[in-house]
Structure 1
Amino acid sequence: MRKRILSIVAIVALASLAGASPSAQRRLGAPEPLQPGQTDDPFPQPIARDQGVITVTLREFASLPDIDGVPARMMMLVQEPTSRRIFVSDMRGPLYTISDDGKTVTPYLDLRDPKWAIAVQSEGRERGMQSFVLHPEFAQAGAPGFGKFYTYTDSSNQVPAPDFTTPHPATTHDTVLHEWTAKTPGAAAYDGAAPREVIRLRQPFPNHNGGMITFNPTARPGAADYGLLYMGIADGGSGGDPMKLAQNLGAAFGKLFRIDPLGKNGRGGKYGVPASNPFASTPDALPEIYAYGIRNSQRFSWDAKSGAMYLTDIGQGVVEEVSPVTAGANLGWSVWEGSFRFVRHQVISTDTPRSDPKVTYPIVEWGQLDPVLLANNSSAAVGLVVYRSTTIPQLTNRILFGDMPSGEMFHVSADDVPKGGQDPIRRVLFVTGAGAAARPFLAIVQEKNRAQGKGVAQRADMRFDVIPDGRIFALNKADGTIRVIEN
């Protein structure tokens, strides 16, 4: 098993604490000793650095403008199929459209405009406009969803009463789902009225502020899942889920919601709750819940071939995971971190892994200390695409996911789906031109920073999204550049 190498400074610091009591050591930052069966590194076999690597071309597609000299904090990209315009968000509040060829970038809507009264809270790396999505009927005149799209945003405006809160006495901000209705969906800029508030969550801590919102793209008109909005809600933040919200079916936090945004039988008549939701008839459970036991998921996706749903969940300090999601699934947090019993920050138990038959365990997972990642014990599962297109044949029939901040993209089989662990994980590397070396995403962002004359990013903050024609776009928060993955 790989061991951490302690710096001289760390060794001196630990020595100075040796005579202190255990409680004093904890206060001063000394780690508690590992007990038998505990570890911070459950995967002794590293991710294969060179075996099974897929190489693809990464081309610059478009650029978003800086705000006050700071690059765009790109979070989400979707395409409107009728106009083929691409919509992309900056976490601080602007929403842009980009022409299909990437040559024209147009401001579409800015949530920071005071007339919307949203008061976007975008301090730190985790707050801001978390996600947005177009209703599948956005461009269909006469349809109930015509002109409608949704934003999921952290707000410093806590005047309105929340729909969901926690027992924590203090709060930091709200995360709000809004519905917007454009009069003319094809217009260059948003031409509708102020948004309608759908759901408001009162956040107890500044981190873990939500996640993705989207509609199931595999659901066709008339299907039971068509027009239902999936909404990722993180566990409320801090560390270790201190209020045990993720396993509490009476709490909204640590869940995946499924709602009908055009319905009326939800709280305050602002949305609908599908009767087919797994806990719709369960006493003391929130009927909006589709799945639970989630820590901090920022992406989920469906397999167009099988209909299976998968979700990436950011770990506490040891394991990152990609998990399958079914109606009513318990993904384990905070009893489990991946396949292992959660003990505390950076500690899990290797005794009886995957031993609860009521828990849905990951299809694949990896350790934060793996040497292929950045050597700073910082890791987060991001991005998730089940790629069934043939536009990029190297990636066809692969499940793609990534690690932040290292900027590593990984792949596993979508047909022979793994059953846990990191042994099946293989890398995706990028070339930027003929004869160029294959590199991870962060190295390409850093190269761009140098060309821009800006400070070199130490993290990639990678996100990636696929559009219907099979193109995959890679986003980041360090250089304002949107890139497209090609054959």
Structure 2
Amino acid sequence: MKSPSPMYTILIAFLMISIGCVDNEPNDEVSPGNGSYGIVEAFPALEFTRPVDLQHPGDGSDRLFVVEQRGIISVFPNDPGVESATTFLDIAEQVDNAGNEEGLLGLAFHPDYEDNGYFYVNYTTHDSKTRVSRFEVSSDDPDQAVKSTEQVLLSFEQPYGNHNGGQVSFGPDGYLYIAVGDGGSGGDPHDNGQDPTTLLGTILRIDVDSQENGMNYGIPEDNPFAGNEEGYREEIYAYGLRNVWRFSFDPETDRLWAGDVGQNSYEEIDIIKIGENYGWNIMEGKHCFSPGSGCDQSGLELPVWEYGRSEGVSVTGGFVYRGPSLDGLAGQYIYADYASGRIWALDYSDMGNPENTELIETDIRISSFGVDAQNELYICAFEGGNDKIYRLAAE
């Protein structure tokens, strides 16, 4: 999500007004689409407070879990007629959500969750740190986590209140991937993006099933800086990123897709590859961040897509669609912009000539996407209270 600086607050407000996205009245059941798609409330009876993530546990239960930024995870059956949700975990007291980009930000279930009951969260603390922790589900109640089982895996300082990243997700290799922003402020004043001695400005990858060197996790042997002697953080999988708020794996190709939030001019979509440098703060998108001084792009991995300020100001990364209901979107990367409410589909089947199509311009602030056990796509939205979960629908 975008930093709540005054400049961006004004810009977002201007855009929302100019494109008609201010929520003056409740949404209709189906928002008008630019073509053949609209959005519908997925669970009409359920309301949330700033939902930022939606996950399924992969245990065959067909349940969904929604993360609220204030520090609460709710669980409910994946049924449009569901009437209520159950609080699965409440850690609001230990979560700092004072800033727009702070709070409980991500949830991931262990690949063997059905047997071990482990799940992982990413949140910001009251002493200005990011914490990645493991919790366990109750052995007596599958809809209740045990708060006292917290085991902290990672904890590191955040110099500012914004650019905390927040996504946690297990890859097809069974390792836990973690999105970490550049530390905040604007323009990366500490040059964290190009400094692999810090965890900031990266995607991390750790082995949660082993412990080594006094840590509650291990370093995968093929991590790019594993065993280095330069002081680089061995947890790093890729770096040179500004603020990857949401990333996801394509279950068919195993590609790691990410939306990296831009600074002044461009939002970008990246395919994350092991050991690559994605250029921040040398580059913003495919452009020199400080064009007057020039920039050396050698050795940098540029985005596969970008868009400018006429289309939005804060990218929300999504998923490659592999669900059963929207055949026309199969294999396309679905993503959005938090401020403008636009949703796009990026067709990357021709890697040399990707095609980007706007599906719909909504009147909601799209904070995140999620998928259920059938890979059907859902949308988490902020609407200024009584927030909802939506899904794309063919009209």
TM-score (norm 2): 0.84
Aligned match for 1:382, one of 304, 316, 324: 316
1:404 corresponds to 2:338? yes
1:481 corresponds to 2:388? yes
Report SS of the residue matched to 1:425: strand
Report SS of the residue matched to 2:224: coil
Distance 2:46 2:357 in 1: 34
- Between Structure 1 and Structure 2, the one with more strand by share is 2
Report SS of the residue matched to 2:328: helix
The structure whose Rg is larger is 1
Aligned equivalent of 1:213? 168
Aligned equivalent of 1:59? 40
One-letter identity of the residue aligned with 2:91: L
Aligned equivalent of 1:133? 108
Comparing 316-325 and 56-65, the one that deviates more: 56-65
1:253-311 deviation per Cα after TM superposition (whole angstroms, max 9, x unaligned): 00110001232125x32111111111103222111000000000111122233222221
The question of whether the paired residues in 1 share the 8 Å contact of 2:135 and 2:146 is answered with no
Deviation at 1:463, TM superposition (A): 1.6
Report SS of the residue matched to 2:148: coil
1:385-432 deviation per Cα after TM superposition (whole angstroms, max 9, x unaligned): 112334211211211111111111111213113568xxx422012xxx
Distance 2:120 2:97 in 1: 18
Aligned equivalent of 1:428? 359
1:238 corresponds to 2:218? no
1:203-239 deviation per Cα after TM superposition (whole angstroms, max 9, x unaligned): 11111123211012xx2xxxxx12x100011000011
Aligned match for 2:237, one of 268, 286, 290: 290
Please give the residue correspondences for 1:18-417 in structure 2 after superposition, counting only pairs within 5 Å: 55-62=36-43, 72-81=49-58, 82-102=60-80, 103=82, 104-112=84-92, 114=93, 119-140=94-115, 146-156=116-126, 158=127, 173-184=128-139, 187-191=142-146, 193-216=148-171, 219=172, 225-226=173-174, 228-265=175-212, 268-283=214-229, 284-343=231-290, 348=291, 356-368=297-309, 370=310, 372-373=311-312, 379-417=313-351
Aligned equivalent of 1:472? 377
Distance 2:221 2:68 in 1: 35
Comparing 288-297 and 273-282, the one that deviates more: 273-282
% identity of equivalent residues: 27
Comparing 477-486 and 323-332, the one that deviates more: 477-486
TM-score (norm 1): 0.69
Deviation at 1:476, TM superposition (A): 1.1
Change (3 A) 1:63 1:76: farther
Distance 1:381 1:238 in 2: 18
- The runs of 4+ residues in structure 1 deviating greater than 4 Å are 63-66, 348-352
Distance 2:300 2:70 in 1: 36
1:49-99 deviation per Cα after TM superposition (whole angstroms, max 9, x unaligned): xxx955224221226877xxxx61100001123111100110001100021
The question of whether the paired residues in 2 share the 8 Å contact of 1:147 and 1:185 is answered with no
* RMSD (Å), alpha carbons: 2.3
One-letter identity of the residue aligned with 2:378: F
1:442-470 deviation per Cα after TM superposition (whole angstroms, max 9, x unaligned): 2xx4xxxxxxxxxxxxxx14321122313
One-letter identity of the residue aligned with 1:55: S
Deviation at 1:185, TM superposition (A): 7.8
Deviation at 1:187, TM superposition (A): 2.0
Change (3 A) 1:388 1:65: closer
Distance 1:252 1:302 in 2: 21
Report SS of the residue matched to 1:194: strand
Distance 1:185 1:63 in 2: 30
Distance 1:297 1:307 in 2: 18
Aligned equivalent of 2:29? none
Distance 2:156 2:114 in 1: 29
Distance 1:468 1:187 in 2: 17
The question of whether the paired residues in 2 share the 8 Å contact of 1:139 and 1:185 is answered with no
Aligned equivalent of 1:7? none
One-letter identity of the residue aligned with 1:484: R
Report SS of the residue matched to 2:244: coil
Change (3 A) 1:64 1:149: farther
The question of whether the paired residues in 1 share the 8 Å contact of 2:62 and 2:372 is answered with no
**Which protein, 1 or 2, shows the higher relative CO under an 8 Å CA cutoff with sep ≥ 6?**
2
Aligned equivalent of 1:441? 362
Change (3 A) 1:200 1:58: same
Distance 1:322 1:350 in 2: 25
